Amino acid sequence: MAVLARVFGDIDIAEDAVQDAFAEAARRWPRSGQPPSPAGWIITTARNRAIDRLRREAARTGKHAQAALLHADEQPGEEAGPVDDDRLRLMFTCCHPALGRAAQVALTLRLLGGLTTAEIAHAFLVPEPTMAQRLVRAKAKIRDAGIPYRVPAEADLPGRLTGVLAVVYLIFNEGYTASSGDQLARADLCTEAIRLGRLLARLMPDEPEVTGLLALMLLTESRRTARTGPDGALVLLAGQDRTRWDRSLIAEGQSLVRQCLRRGRPGPYQIQAAISAVHSDAPVAAATGWDQILTLYDQLLAVAPSPVAALNRAVAVAEVDGPAAALALVDGLPAASLDRYYLFHAIRADLLRRLGRRAEADAAYRAALARSGNAAERAHLALAK
């Protein structure tokens, strides 16, 4: 897809061509066997099919088809060429700041992930025609406004990369919000986000925040099965059965954390991954290195202050200085921006319970439950606005 989008300078043409090529493969391969390089075969076939189709259209009317043909002629025709570079270019195109966040997410999943429009719509709880419309509009803007297929210049890279990482992490979090919606569709989003994270980490090995994000997602994913109880209720970190954590994901995540922190260019994803890695080190909750975690949260708030980070820091404070100190911090946070966040209420509830303030704790638990029930819908609303 990414190669063809570059060759033709048009995502729709590339998508049609790839579909043609797969249809051809489905007809031919069962009889003649799979070619030595299936990906190369698909790209070559798709390219030829698209050129045939464009020639037909160009002969009839389409100036647009002529333009795309010209574009294809200017591009080097290397079939087994640097596919990875094209993917990276497409990633920056999909996450271009001139596109809204919801469009960035949809385009990234459609063009770089392996999801169909129906699957994306399902995962984000929007009707399929709405998602299809969103994709059509975004692709039209890329074409008409001239959003380039290009990795940004060095000077713009940090800012643009932040946008790409935010999209990948948003996809991951949307999948990880296991409070409602179709569990399977949501697990797909985590898988896609990690795949995109791996791709980015391979393509941009010199960007420690890229590695940091991948590590953070792997370490978070390692706890997926442990974070819901048998009744489907959310189990907070302290209550999780740590034997159910995925050891191989933890090992990979921790190794990546060490690898990126060695570069001495810390950023929010690396620090969050490091915090997660400290949790992963503890065989039981009581053995958690809370002092270390608190130090890391102080660093996180220094590089990327946010109410959510301050809330999470308060959890570490509860372990180091006790629940009373933590509750004072939590109640000092801007409630207006956190009220709709179920963890704000869940954390308050836990602190109140530990202080023996049963009635207030119950109220806070109820508030948390009321908000986690439609977390996916709210996340979608935040996306769509």
Partner 1 sequence: MKQYLLSIYQPDGDPPAPEVLEPIMRDISAVDQAMRDAGAWVFTGGLHAPDTATVLRAADGDVLVTDGPYAEGKEHVGGFWIIRAADLDEALAWARRATVACTLPVEVRPMVDMAEG
Residues that bind partner 1 (CB under 8 A): 63-64, 67, 96, 98, 144-148, 150, 152, 156
Number of neighbours of residue 86 by Cβ within 10 angstroms: 19
Closest distance of CB 101 from partner 1, Å: 17
Can you read off the two tokens belonging to residue 345?
A: 């209420």
Closest distance of CB 150 from partner 1, Å: 7
**Which of 163, 169, 167 is closest to 190 using CA atoms?**
169
Which of 148/229 has CB closer to partner 1?
A: 148
Q: How big, in percent rounded to 5, are the helix, strand and coil portions of the chain?
A: 75, 0, 25
Can you read off the two tokens belonging to residue 213?
A: 């994000």
Cβ within 8 Å of residue 76, ≥6 positions away? none
Can you read off the two tokens belonging to residue 230?
A: 């048998």
In whole angstroms, what is the distance from residue 326 CA to residue 137 CA? 46
Closest distance of CB 63 from partner 1, Å: 4
Closest distance of CB 222 from partner 1, Å: 38
Which of 86/221 has CB closer to partner 1?
A: 86
Closest distance of CB 161 from partner 1, Å: 15
**Which of 263, 294, 300 is closest to 278 using CA atoms?**
294
Which of 153/336 has CB closer to partner 1?
A: 153
Which of 64/357 has CB closer to partner 1?
A: 64
Which of 96/139 has CB closer to partner 1?
A: 96
DSSP assignment of 189-247: HHHHHHHHHHHHHHH-TT-HHHHHHHHHHHHHHTTTGGGB-TTS-B--GGGS-GGGS-H
Number of neighbours of residue 353 by Cβ within 10 angstroms: 16
Could you give the 3-state DSSP secondary structure of residue 122? helix
Which of 129/148 has CB closer to partner 1?
A: 148
Closest distance of CB 207 from partner 1, Å: 20
Which of 105/147 has CB closer to partner 1?
A: 147
Which of 2/65 has CB closer to partner 1?
A: 65
* Distance linking the first and last C-alpha atoms of the chain: 29
Can you read off the two tokens belonging to residue 161?
A: 């990369």
In whole angstroms, what is the distance from residue 328 CA to residue 161 CA? 37
Closest distance of CB 65 from partner 1, Å: 11
